[in-house]
Chain A
């Protein structure tokens, strides 16, 4: 029995030793001299060459790319890491709106670290707005991809319909196309982005700050104006409701010529180029439709961010790496994707023109390919960002998605959707103890 006891205790000691040594090993690595390691979480493809280029040109910082499965797993992973305060990455691909992630306590204040780049005007003002909350910076600006529209010109021509310039034109075109079994646009049941973009294009926002309290404005004139457009699209039965989740089905549907206008952005083009079989070459890039009463040409360009989480121990190095990835010429050059022939869209810098040509695929637009680059650059210049989101936008967006699904299937009107969202958002803010201004 003695023997056995001794064996047991020896075993326990061995396990304890092994564990503590493993723990020491962990802390040793982080305190050793040499380059500072910045862990970078991203799920989008083709980040490896950018990271390699960074490491080759920055001896003092070692960027370590940790590939993530997708958007939701990254969100869960980061929430857990920040809550635990251990193994917090220093750069994370964006999975939400900066204000709501900040309210959740996930982001670090990098105002002092980012200030020099902002002063040097490395990024556009619109892009910087995307990381700004109450005058402070949380993350590195990644900007927005320019939005424009592509139409299946062959089908438009077949039925003698002019290229739409306004949203009213789109509705009129839809009414003419309907008898031929052709839908003018697609409003996916899970994706209220069409409504959001229309509100932004009208110059509206659902949140505003008024003397230290949130003013919620789902029923603002701009918002109602946007709702009227979508309501007409749905009421006239001129839109499809294909989901974005089932990509093969969606692409096949777009390719059939049954849906003919598609608000799009540069990053989506490669996908259409590769997968369109029948309609390739029939598409034409056109300006994003405007409101009929619009005085200036506007595209929505709400800026996004590369996140720097709270608990990151190397804020300066993380900011440096983030700024480099999103603005340095060699970084954007390194993002070249041989498969699609395109670069990561440099949405945060003032002049993306060197990379525009490559963003336009070879065959998608057929003989109209040359029209694409000027349209993309025009959209970039016209980008405006009146948009502000509140601290509870994560929950609000989920509710909006559900309401949107009901509205596109005519179970409720968009007016009812906005009224519901107004009540829901105010109630949710109050329930969380956040101040709401009387409206």
Chain B
């Protein structure tokens, strides 16, 4: 895009003075044409991100109130930051937040390490073999999230699934719906479905490592393990930061997994199990849109702050 904007401008000085004005007009029009390509994106951004954000912010500042027996209609009153104060004190909301944070601390490093190791292994084998592995590893990522969860939920089911009888055969009693195993069950789905994407990103980064470095490392007598640890890993660090930040954002907003698990095992997964589940429940089950909007904004701030901290920390560390 930059080229098409700059090239005609370089040619125009050769033109006679009267045409300068016209060339400016043409340049502006070309610039306008270039900018117009971004319209669909910004339109979408405005309609689906900015507008809901503004509406959400506005909603969060109001409270819906009734009076008497509650049948005389509702009034919406401005309540300032009351909803936010309530959200900051809400034990259920923060309980869900901690639950998910703890989960994230375990599952995100796990996904990153598994993704990195798999990418390094794929990188080690020949190019043709790698292509086949890449496709196989990507299959889980290509399956839509909800479908993947449904498949796993049936695999996990203690009543109709094959896993519980299989473990029973080995003498292990495994109820994947139970409180002690529920996060393992959800974590397994998460690793399973995000591994392919992580491998793809890291493997892509590995391809851009200059081969001369490997040659010189080999000349210096470095083992394959040493090359992987001291050359490849530092080179893909930025990719790992990217997949980690995406992982954190995705995990803190985890919704569909526990929601579907809830339908199977409501004894284990409560309605406020994760922050987004609580927001959904407030908005669509309880019907308190104002409070739900305030909670959404609090969650967005928390996710933003954590992502920023991780980003800063990992980008500062020396190679």
Residues of chain A touching chain B, judged by Cβ–Cβ distance below 8 Å, are 72, 75-76, 79, 99, 102-105, 133-134, 188-190, 209, 212-214, 241-243, 245-246, 248-249, 252-253, 390-392, 394-395, 398, 401-402, 405-406, 408-409, 429, 432-435
Complex A-B, nearest 3 residue pairs according to Cβ-Cβ distance, in ascending order = A391-B70, A189-B267, A190-B266
User: A420 → chain B, closest Cβ, in Å?
Assistant: 13
The distance in angstroms between the C-alpha atoms of A409 and B270, with both chains bound, is: 13
Q: Cβ of B73 < 8 Å from any Cβ of A? A: yes
* A246-B160, A249-B157, A395-B287 known; A103 vs B264 contact (CB < 8 Å): no
Q: Is the CB of B287 within 8 A of A104?
A: yes
B70 partner residues in chain A, CB cutoff 8 A: 103, 214, 390-392, 429, 432, 434
Q: Is the CB of B265 within 8 A of A213?
A: no
Residue of B nearest to A243 (CB): B264
A–B Cβ pairs within 8 angstroms, 22 of them: A72-B284, A75-B284, A99-B71, A103-B70, A134-B69, A188-B266, A189-B265, A189-B266, A190-B266, A214-B70, A243-B265, A243-B266, A245-B264, A246-B157, A390-B70, A391-B71, A394-B286, A395-B285, A402-B266, A406-B267, A433-B66, A435-B69
Residue of A nearest to B29 (CB): A1
Q: Is the CB of A245 within 8 A of B270?
A: no
* A189-B265, A243-B265, A249-B157 known; A394 vs B285 contact (CB < 8 Å): yes
Residue of A nearest to B154 (CB): A246
The distance in angstroms between the C-alpha atoms of A432 and B68, with both chains bound, is: 10
Q: Is the CB of A214 within 8 A of B287?
A: no
User: B214 → chain A, closest Cβ, in Å?
Assistant: 53
A79 partner residues in chain B, CB cutoff 8 A: 287
Q: Is the CB of A433 within 8 A of B157?
A: no
A242 in complex: contacting residue of B71, B159, B285, CB < 8 Å: B159
The distance in angstroms between the C-alpha atoms of A253 and B160, with both chains bound, is: 10
5 additional A-B pairs beyond A246-B160, A391-B71, beta carbons within 8 Å, are A213-B69, A398-B285, A409-B267, A433-B65, A435-B67
Q: Cβ of B223 < 8 Å from any Cβ of A? A: no
The distance in angstroms between the C-alpha atoms of A246 and B262, with both chains bound, is: 11
The distance in angstroms between the C-alpha atoms of A248 and B154, with both chains bound, is: 11
Q: Cβ of B263 < 8 Å from any Cβ of A? A: yes
The distance in angstroms between the C-alpha atoms of A243 and B268, with both chains bound, is: 12
Residue of B nearest to A250 (CB): B159
Instruction: Please report the total number of B residues contacting A with Cβ < 8 Å.
Output: 28
A248 partner residues in chain B, CB cutoff 8 A: 160
A189 partner residues in chain B, CB cutoff 8 A: 265-267
* A134-B71, A212-B68, A246-B264 known; A405 vs B270 contact (CB < 8 Å): yes
Q: Is the CB of B157 within 8 A of A408?
A: no
The distance in angstroms between the C-alpha atoms of A147 and B73, with both chains bound, is: 35
B159 in complex: contacting residue of A103, A213, A253, A432, CB < 8 Å: A253
Q: Cβ of B232 < 8 Å from any Cβ of A? A: no
B207 partner residues in chain A, CB cutoff 8 A: none
The distance in angstroms between the C-alpha atoms of A405 and B286, with both chains bound, is: 18
* A79-B287, A190-B266, A252-B159 known; A103 vs B68 contact (CB < 8 Å): no
Q: Is the CB of A214 within 8 A of B69?
A: yes
The distance in angstroms between the C-alpha atoms of A102 and B71, with both chains bound, is: 6
* A401-B271, A402-B270 known; A243 vs B69 contact (CB < 8 Å): no
Q: Is the CB of A434 within 8 A of B67?
A: yes
A253 partner residues in chain B, CB cutoff 8 A: 159
Q: Cβ of B257 < 8 Å from any Cβ of A? A: no
Q: Is the CB of B287 within 8 A of A391?
A: no
B69 in complex: contacting residue of A188, A242, A391, A398, CB < 8 Å: A391
User: B161 → chain A, closest Cβ, in Å?
Assistant: 9
Q: Is the CB of A249 within 8 A of B160?
A: yes
B288 partner residues in chain A, CB cutoff 8 A: 395
The distance in angstroms between the C-alpha atoms of A134 and B69, with both chains bound, is: 10
For A133, A212, A402, which residue has the most chain B Cβ atoms within 10 angstroms?
Answer: A402
Q: Is the CB of A245 within 8 A of B263?
A: yes
Contact with A along B228-272 (1 / 0, CB 8 A): 000000000000000000000000000000000001111110111
Q: Cβ of B74 < 8 Å from any Cβ of A? A: yes
* A241-B267, A394-B287, A408-B267 known; A105 vs B69 contact (CB < 8 Å): no
Q: Is the CB of B160 within 8 A of A133?
A: no
A395 partner residues in chain B, CB cutoff 8 A: 285-288
User: A24 → chain B, closest Cβ, in Å?
Assistant: 26
Q: Is the CB of B68 within 8 A of A105?
A: no
The distance in angstroms between the C-alpha atoms of A105 and B74, with both chains bound, is: 7
B65 partner residues in chain A, CB cutoff 8 A: 432-433
Q: Is the CB of B71 within 8 A of A133?
A: yes
B67 partner residues in chain A, CB cutoff 8 A: 433-435
Q: Is the CB of B68 within 8 A of A398?
A: no
User: A426 → chain B, closest Cβ, in Å?
Assistant: 13
Residue of A nearest to B282 (CB): A395
The distance in angstroms between the C-alpha atoms of A248 and B159, with both chains bound, is: 10
Residue of B nearest to A248 (CB): B160
User: A261 → chain B, closest Cβ, in Å?
Assistant: 19
* A398-B285, A401-B271 known; A434 vs B69 contact (CB < 8 Å): yes
Residue of A nearest to B159 (CB): A249
Q: Is the CB of B271 within 8 A of A391?
A: no
